[in-house]
A and B are shown apart, each in its own frame.
Chain A
Amino acid sequence: MDWSIHVSNAAEVRSGLSALEPASFDSGSKLAPVVQLTQRLIYELFGPIAFSRCAYGNEFCEHLIPSPDQLEAVVTAARDREIGLTLLTPYVTDAGIDLLRPLFEVLSANGESEVVFNDWGVLNLLRREFSGLKPVQGRLMNKSLRDPRVTGVYAASDAPAPALVSLRRSNLDCASYTGFLSGLGVESVEVDNLPQGVDLSFAENGVKASAYVPFGFISTSRICMAAGIHYDKRDKFQPGAPCHHECQTHLLEYAYTNTPFENRDQKFYLKGNSYFYVHTEAMLRGLFEQARAGLIDRIVFQPQLPMTWERA
Chain B
Amino acid sequence: MKVLAPISSYDELEMLAASGAEEFYCGVVPREWLDRYTGAVWLNRRSPKGGSLETFSELKRLVEGSHRLGIPVFLTLNAPYYTAEQMSWVMELARALDGEAGIDALIVTDINLLMQLSKAKLNAALHVSSVAATLNTEAIRFLLQFGPSRIILPRSLTIPEIERIVNATRDEVEIEVFMLNDGCAFEEGFCATTHHHTVGAFCTSLSEMDTEFERSGGRELTRRQNSRLRRNLTDYREWIWYVNGNGCGATANGLPYGPCGLCAIHDFQRIGVASLKIVGREASPFKKLASVRMVRAIVDQVRSGPDKLVVIERAKSLRGDRKHCDSGYMCYYKVEA
User: Interface of A with B (CB < 8 Å)?
Assistant: 26, 28-30, 91-97, 118-125, 140, 143-147, 149-150, 153-154, 159-160, 162-163, 165-167, 169-171, 173-177, 180, 217-223, 225-226, 228-229, 233-240, 248-261, 268, 275
Contacts and interface: CB of A to CB of B under 8 A. Distances in A.
A30 B218 CA distance: 11
Contacts of B205: 149, 258
Contacts of B164: 94
B133 to A, nearest CB: 6
B282 interface: no
Interface in B186-214: 186-187, 190-194, 196, 198-199, 202-203, 205-206, 208-214
Nearest to B208: A258
Given A236-B235, A260-B198, A229 B36 contact: no
Given A171-B81, A221-B186, 20 more contacts: A30-B214, A94-B137, A97-B138, A150-B196, A153-B198, A171-B110, A176-B87, A176-B115, A180-B115, A223-B185, A228-B235, A239-B156, A240-B156, A250-B214, A252-B211, A253-B212, A255-B210, A257-B209, A259-B199, A268-B209
B177 to A, nearest CB: 13
A28 B217 CA distance: 7
A119 B138 CA distance: 9
B56 interface: no
A237 B233 CA distance: 11
B235 A166 contact: no
A200 B173 CA distance: 36
Contact of A121 (B137, B212, B221): B137
Given A147-B193, A170-B81, A254-B206, A223 B156 contact: yes
9 contacts: A118-B190, A143-B81, A149-B193, A220-B190, A237-B235, A237-B329, A249-B216, A250-B229, A251-B216
Contacts of B82: 171, 174
B328 A220 contact: no
B123 interface: no
B186 A220 contact: yes
B269 interface: no
A149 B202 contact: yes
Contact of B192 (A122, A145, A229): A145
Given A92-B135, A149-B202, A257-B210, A166 B115 contact: no
Contacts of B139: 119-121, 124
B198 A219 contact: no
Given A93-B136, A146-B192, A173-B84, A222 B239 contact: no
Top 3 nearest A-B pairs (CB, nearest first) are A121-B138, A121-B139, A143-B80
A228 B236 contact: yes
A59 to B, nearest CB: 10
A222 B209 contact: no
A180 B190 CA distance: 21
A124 B209 CA distance: 40
B284 interface: no
Contacts of B229: 229, 250, 252
A153 B95 CA distance: 34
A297 B36 CA distance: 33
A163 B156 contact: no
B253 interface: no
Given A26-B217, A221-B156, A147 B135 contact: no
Contacts of A256: 209
Interface stretch (B21-29, B37-45, B63-71, B313-321): B37-45
Residue among A118, A175, A228 having the largest count of chain B Cβ atoms under 10 Å: A228
A106 B112 CA distance: 32
B71 to A, nearest CB: 31
B232 interface: yes
Contacts of A275: 202
A253 to B, nearest CB: 5
A191 to B, nearest CB: 12
Given A94-B164, A169-B83, A237-B329, A163 B38 contact: yes
A147 B37 contact: no
B142 A167 contact: no
Given A217-B192, A220-B186, A252 B233 contact: yes
